[in-house]
């Protein structure tokens, strides 16, 4: 059996109707997991689940719409997952928001709170809902999709970076709490990836040129290149990894543009 095999696992993945979340759901389904597709719009979730079921077999995926800003929506998402598959073995907190691009002094209170609530508090809610069953079972993997924005300052996405730095600490804290009972908690920190959420960054030719010039691979990343790290963390391959942030950025944070 492959170290990356996920047969028998149930993965709940937020923000999974497109981008990194969708690629992660596809990769986990390919490794044998049952997957739960969730984003704000039911029709988008339905389309992604249908595609996965067509590729990997009927019953592989279900679709449950949820707004991460609503605690009730998230609890319903967890309840529907358990009703369909009986348990949750992997949680991927991927959904996030960034309603503001610009200097820190220009952000409104409403925008700042939305970033913090959606990118930190919602993850805390979901982990609190899912972790108890993992702890009781003595096994489970929780993955937060963070960002290299949490590792450095930015004049454009500063508040987003603050939220993503906090996610890394969430993973560290919960890994300390949950580790003795067999539950692992980690982050993945992507660089610039070709997703709809990051479109404002990579569609800007100057920003794209600057970002790719600063990376050692000299190119933008693709969603499936983050999904591989998620499969690693959810499978036996990552069984001794916890409390870590895996940086997947094409070398952007280590090259200095050289």
pLDDT digits (tens, 9 = 90+) for 222-237: 999 999 999 999 999 9
DSSP state, residue 27: H
The answer to whether 230 and 238 have CB atoms below 8 angstroms apart is no
Residue 57 has a CB neighbour count (10 Å cut-off) of: 11
CB distance 50 to 22 below 8 Å? no
Question: Look-up: residue for tokens 């986990």?
Answer: 28
Over the chain, what is the mean pLDDT?
94
Let me know how long the chain is.
258
Q: Is the pLDDT reported for residue 142 higher than 60?
A: yes
For residue 102, give the DSSP letter. Answer: B
CB distance 41 to 65 below 8 Å: yes
Output 258 or 219, whichever has higher pLDDT: 219
pLDDT at res. 201: 64
For domain 10-247, say whether CATH 3.40.50.720 is its number: yes
Alpha-carbon dihedral sign for residues 223, 226, 228, 234: negative
Residue 153: closest CA among 103, 201, 118, 227: 103
The lowest-confidence range among 92-101, 209-218, 235-244 is 209-218
- How confident is the model over 39-81, as pLDDT tens digits? 999 999 999 999 999 999 999 999 999 999 999 999 999 999 9
In the beta sheet, which residues pair with residue 183?
A: 140
Buried/exposed 65-81: b ≥16 CB within 10 Å, e otherwise: bbbbbeeebbeebbebb
How far, in Å, CA of 240 to CA of 75, rounded? 29
Three-state DSSP class for residue 3: coil
DSSP label at residue 171 = H
Asked if residue 48 lies in contact with residue 17, where contact means CB atoms within 8 angstroms, the answer is: yes
Tokens 């209170």 belong to which residue? 109
Sheet bearing 10-14, strands edge to edge: 61-63, 34-38, 10-14, 90-93, 140-145, 183-190, 245-248
Tell me how crowded residue 54 is: count the other CB atoms within 10 A of its CB.
Answer: 11
Strand, helix or coil for residue 134: helix
Q: Hey, which residues are catalytic here?
A: 160
The answer, as to whether pTM is greater than 0.85, is yes
């Amino acid at each position: 059996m492959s170290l990356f095999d996920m047969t028998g696992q149930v993965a709940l993945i937020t923000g999974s109707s497109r981008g990194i979340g969708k690629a992660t759901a596809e990769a986990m389904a390919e490794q044998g997991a049952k997957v739960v597709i969730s984003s704000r719009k039911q029709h988008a979730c339905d389309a992604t689940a249908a595609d996965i079921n067509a590729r990997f077999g009927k019953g592989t995926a279900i679709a449950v719409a949820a707004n991460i800003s609503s605690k009730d929506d998230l609890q319903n998402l967890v309840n529907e997952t358990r009703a369909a598959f009986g348990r949750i073995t992997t949680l991927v907190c991927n959904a996030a928001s960034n309603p503001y691009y610009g200097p820190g002094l220009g952000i409104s209170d409403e925008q700042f709170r939305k970033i913090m609530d959606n990118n930190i508090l919602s993850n805390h809610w979901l982990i609190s809902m899912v972790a108890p069953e993992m702890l009781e079972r003595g096994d489970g993997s929780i993955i937060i999709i963070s960002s290299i924005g949490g590792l450095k300052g930015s004049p454009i996405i500063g508040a987003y970076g603050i939220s993503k730095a906090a996610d890394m600490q969430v993973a560290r804290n919960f890994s300390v709490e949950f580790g003795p009972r067999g539950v692992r908690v980690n982050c993945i920190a992507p660089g610039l990836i070709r997703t709809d959420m990051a479109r404002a960054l990579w569609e800007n030719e100057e920003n794209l040129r600057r970002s790719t010039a600063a990376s050692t691979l000299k190119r933008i990343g693709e969603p499936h290149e983050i999904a591989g790290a998620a499969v690693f963390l959810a499978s036996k391959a990552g069984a001794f990894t916890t409390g870590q942030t895996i940086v997947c950025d094409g070398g952007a944070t280590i090259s200095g543009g050289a």
